[in-house]
Structure 1
Amino acid sequence: MTLPRAKKFEIGDLVRVEGLPSDLGDFAGIGTPQVFEQALGKAFRVQGFNALGHLELVVVEQHPSAHAYEADTIWIEPKFVSLVARLA
């Protein structure tokens, strides 16, 4: 199954988060608004797209030990990001 992709962006592109959705809520108690706010103004690689065309961005990666990996991922609408560079 092929998912629709944002026409302007491709997997691997470097994008900058330029804005945030106004309806961010912390419904699950996992700090969603804070993760989005930390991403504002920073650049990330597009990891993928969902069925709605939102971009998947890994905004926080940590390797607390050799055997552990932690990451915060956001799904953001294309209108809130700008293209910085194409994957070479």
Structure 2
Amino acid sequence: MAEVGYCSCVGTPYVTTPWESASFPRKVRQKQEHAADKFAAHFLMPDVELQKMKGKGIKDVAQYFGIPEEMVKLRLTMFGIATDDDS
């Protein structure tokens, strides 16, 4: 899903090749990957739907959206919503 976000945020898909990885600036790649992750998090867990899960644990939210718990944690911490490592 982050790849879709990458294309949406950057415009073209980025494919790492052996000669490119050394020459492509790491900071640029990290910034683009962060933007793609944010897009994917919003796409998979829209704010309106996420609000319906307020007060639920990480496992419940992951099950509701059908995604891994790690992605829920990422989404919540990305946007300052996470409380603690509740499951």
TM-score bracket relative to the smaller structure? under 0.3
Identify the structure with bigger relative contact order (alpha carbons < 8 Å, sequence gap 6+).
1
After TM superposition, the score normalised by the length of structure 1 is 0.27
After TM superposition, the score normalised by the length of structure 2 is 0.27
